[in-house]
Amino acid sequence: MGDHHHGPATGVTRWLFTTNHKDIGTMYLWFSFAMFLLGGFFAMVIRAELFQPGMQLVEPAFFNQMTTLHGLVMVFGAIMPSFVGLANWLIPMMIGAPDMALPRMNNWSFWILPPAFLMLASTLFMEGGAPAFGWTFYAPLSTTYAPPSVTFFIFAIHILGVSSIMGSINIIATVMNMRAPGMTYMKMPMFVWTWLITAFLLVAVMPVLAGAVTMMLMDIHFGTSFFSAAGGGDPVLFQHIFWFFGHPEVYIIILPAFGVVSQIIPAFSRKPLFGYASMVYATASIAFLSFVVWAHHMYTVGMPVAGELFFMYATMLIAVPTGVKVFNWISTMWRGSLSFETPMLFSIGFLVLFTLGGFTGLMLSIAPADFQYHDTYFVVAHFHYVMVAGAVFSMTAAVYYWLPKWCGRMYSESMGKIHFWISFIGFNITFFPQHFVGLAGMPRRIPDYALQFADFNMMSSIGAFIYGASQLLFLYNVIATIVSGERVSDEKVWDGAEGLEWTVPTPAPYHTFEEPPLVSKPAGTF
Amino acid sequence: MSSNPSTATGHEKYYVPESSSLAVRATIGLLLSVFGGGLMLNEMTYGSADDASYSGWVLTAGLVFFILTLTSWFRTVIKENIAGLNSGQVNQSYVLGMFWFIFSEVMFFAAFFGTLLYVRQLAGPWLAGEGEGGRMNDLLWPGFEFTWPPSITPQETVGGADAQVIANNGDFVSQEKSMAPADAHAWYAWLPMWNTIILLSSSATVHVAHTAILAGDRAKFNRWLGITVGLALIFLGLQAAEYYEAYVLYGLTLNSGIYGSTFFMLTGFHGFHVAMGMTMLLIQLVRSVKNEHFTASDHFGFEASSWYWHFVDVVWVFLFLFVYIL
């Protein structure tokens, strides 16, 4: 079948027909950034409306569509695909494989994403408006009382699920089957480990989400009564199924972020990762526990006390492996030869703010206390600390860290640092006050609020605009780097960087490791 | 597990396919199907904006395009294998891919089995006044008693849609008879029992076919694979008969409350998977009979299909237990 040593094809078909993991990774990354901006735009609409009490800019119904689409686009469109893009770029290079295990399926799992989101976004222009029931789409809001566009929402979720499952199968097959000789499981970089475990989680729970939306579809169009008590079903059943998916989903988002930080902190501490094996076991424990804690999202739904207690203790248990990770990162930095380039700044930002988000999570896990916090802005603050300062910060760190390897050019360090500080400050101005308004009783998902919340909400909105604007700076920095950044040719780029991806030329050639390298050193050693 | 165990951990040059239009074509097919299907459902439920509807055509075009693309995709993979491009390591990727695909299917069914158990163990008794939800019965569904299979829906108990407006998707009408053995008019006329025997036998026959190809006996392989496909066809025929019985004779429909919902969801999706598995096996049979594909050491297309078939069989065993017997 001819010679396979070829560079990229030219024109648009390069991207449409590609089977190259680097091309596909690039497409995932750009797509997810586009979705990040779209979801961010929805967030700006929300914060603009909440700038002052009273109704200013949008109708309540449209406000609800914004909160719904903001959540869906950010979770399924921005964060998840961005880490899949990272996996595509890095996993083959980190384990010494020529490509992903199933390259054509890899291309397919990317290409069904953009049309699915086009379909989801098009619901905004449909009769009855876009889905307005929150990203958790609880029945019966999402069944009996849903707008007709819910049908397309359901199919969009189906397609996203198919994409995630195919992507995960690809990652599992790649990691299990394509490691270079000598690359044993316990020599794999932490990023590969976290993604392997994430992929298991995805294959296990995305089908359950597909089942949930399929039952919604049946209730809406075929008269079944899964989520209708009148027919003997139960709307609470929806919540159980949704959160059986939804809680592992949270770790699907954050585990790859853990992996990224576990690569970057050792590089800029110039020390191997502290407690590598315990990191692996902690990741696996978190993944296991994520299956038995889902009902902590539903404390106020009327569960038996025994259920509340079980889910409360199981949830608190997660703090143990998470704590292992946090202390390992700190120990890695301890007495290291630290330097604070942009990736390191974002990683430390991640470490501090994610830990804060973890602590508020612990507060929320306490069932009796949750009756006060439930569905307030305290919850909003909590999950933005782990989603934005956790997942998005680490993703940003990853882009700065590997961008020179990808394109052979160095980003502007000063602009990167400015981006970090504006993001860090803007983020905290946005979300820190939300803890207070939440504790004081401001409910989430409302377009108007009582007067006593006005000041903190104005702060929040100003912070959100600052944070949003800083992402444009990020975009500019990345484009400027690719177009006209200073060239780097050093294979390692960062003097403390370790791993196979730093042994290939810079910029990384179109095909790497067509002949597998021989690996002898353990992960992350000097 | 693999037919080439010696090469499973080998590190030959891994075959990375040339750029390919398959993925984009499959995307177009999938998206057209889904979009057309969505339009069609919405027209059915909410009414059509205009008389001339094109949704059916979009759906059909999408499905045809999608199936054609998948066909040429598999054809490409088979050709690559015959051309000797697939090393043991590539084959191992296909093995892993199939295994984890089946695992994802297991989790898909787990959602519906979980629903069934939740309804039977928690939701149903609570609607009838047990446990923490005790007050629900007095306030919302006075007089509702829960049995399985349920004889009446909560809504019928309180007197139809007018009397009860909470969480109401429509009028639910309970079935006159359930599909449980107690409601069958004679044991030999209880179709699920025959279907269990048929499907378990088909798992055995497909295994005989597997041992035949391992021994290089193509005639025996074709014969037993053919028998398996035949059994699958009989199963689907009996299930169609059972659905007829349910809809026409027992009044058991999708509108029959939660019993009908779970019954049709579980058996329907299982039946769909049987049809898929049968198609897969049929394709392998045609490949073997017509093109003499498969050898004693290289027959993963068949092996993957047979794994799928065993999976469908195991799902049925659970279905037989939890939907029909218990």
State the average pLDDT over residues B233-253. Answer: 94
Disruptive mutation site among A120, A141, A222 for chain B (greatest number of B CBs within 10 Å)? A222
User: What is the dihedral sign for C-alpha B114, B120, B121, B127?
Assistant: positive
Mean of all residue pLDDT scores within chain B? 89
Q: How confident is the model at residue B12 (pLDDT cuts 50, 70, 90)?
A: low
Residue A8 belongs to some domain of the structure: no
Q: Check B17 against A240: CB less than 8 A apart.
A: no
State the average pLDDT over residues A285-297. Answer: 96
Share of chain B above pLDDT 90, in %: 67
| 8 A C-beta contact, residue A383 and residue A75 | no
DSSP class per residue in B77-120:
HHHHHHTT---HHHHHHHHHHHHHHHHHHHHHHHHHHHHHHHII
* Segments forming the whole domain that contains residue A483: 14-502
pLDDT score recorded for residue B4: 38
Residue A495 belongs to some domain of the structure: yes
pLDDT score recorded for residue A520: 75
Q: What is the pTM assigned to this prediction?
A: 0.94
Q: How confident is the model at residue B50 (pLDDT cuts 50, 70, 90)?
A: low
Residue A321 belongs to some domain of the structure: yes
Angle at B160 between CA B154 and CA B161, to 5 degrees: 105
pLDDT score recorded for residue B163: 54
Mark whether A511 is an active-site residue. no
CATH code of the domain covering residue A138: 1.20.210.10
pLDDT score recorded for residue A40: 97
Mark whether A59 is an active-site residue. no
State the average pLDDT over residues A466-478. Answer: 97
pLDDT exceeds cutoff 80 at B259: yes
Residue A2 belongs to some domain of the structure: no
* Domain extents in chain B: 16-83
State the average pLDDT over residues B57-77. Answer: 96
Mean of all residue pLDDT scores within chain A? 95
Share of chain B above pLDDT 70, in %: 91
State the average pLDDT over residues B34-58. Answer: 86
Q: How confident is the model at residue A518 (pLDDT cuts 50, 70, 90)?
A: confident
Q: How far apart are CA A386 and CA A356, in angstroms?
A: 8
Residues on chain A touching B73 (C-beta within 8 angstroms):
104
Give tens-digit pLDDT for A106-128. 999 999 999 999 999 999 999 89
Catalytic, out of A22, A271, A296, A384: A296
| 8 A C-beta contact, residue A245 and residue B111 | no
pLDDT score recorded for residue A177: 95
Mark whether A163 is an active-site residue. yes
- Which CATH architecture fits B16-83? Orthogonal Bundle (1.10)
State the average pLDDT over residues A428-450. Answer: 96
Give tens-digit pLDDT for A137-148. 998 899 989 999
Tally of domains within chain A: 1
Q: How confident is the model at residue B5 (pLDDT cuts 50, 70, 90)?
A: very low
How many C-alpha atoms does A204 have within 13 Å on its Cβ side?
18
Q: How confident is the model at residue B47 (pLDDT cuts 50, 70, 90)?
A: confident
Nearest of B323, B312, B199 to residue B261 by alpha carbon: B323
Share of chain A above pLDDT 90, in %: 92
Residue A519 belongs to some domain of the structure: no
Give the range among A336-340, B18-22, B58-62 with minimum mean pLDDT. B18-22
Residue A520 belongs to some domain of the structure: no
Q: Which region, left, alpha or beta, applies to residue A9 given φ > 0 means left and ψ of -120 to 50 means alpha?
A: beta
Share of chain A above pLDDT 70, in %: 98
Give kind and range of the element (H or E) at residue A486: strand A486-487
Q: How confident is the model at residue B277 (pLDDT cuts 50, 70, 90)?
A: very high
Q: How confident is the model at residue B51 (pLDDT cuts 50, 70, 90)?
A: low
pLDDT score recorded for residue B101: 97
A517 touches chain B (CB under 8 A): no
